[in-house]
Amino acid sequence: MVGGQLQPYALPRLGFDGFVIDGLSIGGTLGIYTASLEDNDATAFLVAPRVGYATYFSDSVGIWPRGGFSLYSLKLSNDNANGDVTTRYFAFDVEAPFLFNLADWLAIHAGPTIDVSLSGSREVDTRGGDVEIDMSLFSFGLAAGITGFIP
């Protein structure tokens, strides 16, 4: 969280990618987050389809640039407040992880990632009326993970 807000692209995610031809991958990630603390509930959802191309510099080191779009939604509910807050983003995502093979079927990857929102909004439902605010988000960082290859 930054400034009391859950950061969309910091959610842990599970990704699946398949290689449709030599080097070309199609896949995506899915992230789900729920939390409950006293009278507050948070539910976040992120889906991010992507396409990429993996190439190797040697038998054990390569790069796998990928790009796609993501849809993020967060709903915050407070039982003692007047209403709910819903935040949504639609973004363009680019990442360029380096691959380090540990075995023929296993690699670790790490590299830069950038997410730029194309649209975003925050809607606050209150008893006095609804308020909607246009928002944008730019996120960059380092992503890492483990990649398993299924023959």
Residue 86 lies in a domain: yes
Residue 81: predicted pLDDT: 61
Residue 89 lies in a domain: yes
Residue 48 lies in a domain: yes
Counting the structural domains of the chain, the total is 1
Residue 150 lies in a domain: no
Residue 70 lies in a domain: yes
Residue 93 sits in a domain whose CATH number is 2.40.128.100
Render each residue's pLDDT in the chain as its tens digit; 151 residues: 444 556 777 778 888 999 999 999 999 999 998 888 777 788 889 999 999 999 999 999 999 999 999 999 988 887 666 678 888 999 999 999 999 999 989 999 999 999 999 999 888 877 667 788 888 888 899 989 998 888 7
Residue 2: predicted pLDDT: 41
Quick count: other Cβ atoms within 10 Å of Cβ 140?
A: 11
Residue 5 lies in a domain: no
Residue 5: predicted pLDDT: 57
Q: Is 114 exposed, middle or buried (0-12, 13-18, 19+ CB in 10 A)?
A: middle
Question: Residue 114 sits in which domain range?
Answer: 30-143
Residue 10 lies in a domain: no
Cα dist. 80→1, 8, 35, 85, 110 in Å? 22, 25, 17, 13, 42
Output the pTM of the full model.
Answer: 0.82
Residue 21 lies in a domain: no
